[in-house]
A = this chain, B = another copy of it.
Amino acid sequence: MSDQNGTALRVALAYHRAWTGGRFDEAMTYVADDVVCDAPAGRIDGAAAYREFMGPFAGMLISAELLAGYGDEEHAVVVYDTVTTLVAGGPAAEWVTVRDGRIAYSRFIFDRLPFEQARSAARSAHSDVHSAHPSTGGQ
């Protein structure tokens, strides 16, 4: 890990430590109200939408390992690996732009495929249960 301490990196790391430490509300204090996040599934506009995107992921986090953090005054990159209830190894990179101490833009990179596969498998298992026990009904 880098020992650089630009403003953007400090904010990105504070945000990272908060959400990976189970303090998602604290993490959101580092996210601008009008944040724009380009995530694998598309653009996310605003803090409320960002919370909907990131909250469920934070909620299923078992552990995270910070692999790298670099940055300067305005931009930072964090690279980390995650273990969630859904996927055993889910590395991600976030390239962020920080303004006024908050993340104003984030390019979020991770592989959706294992998450889609896990969800698909869970749905199949769910529908198998329903096939075997139709009396349990649908959702």
Contacts and interface: CB of A to CB of B under 8 A. Distances in A.
A109 B107 contact: no
One complex includes copies of this chain to the number of 2
Chain A contact patch, size range:
20 to 34
A132 interface: no
Interface string A22-51: 000000000000000010100000000000
A36 to B, nearest CB: 14
A11 B32 CA distance: 35
Which of A2, A40, A72, A93: most chain B CB closer than 10 A?
Answer: A93
Interface string A71-82: 110010101000
A68 to B, nearest CB: 5
Contacts of A113: 40, 111-113, 116
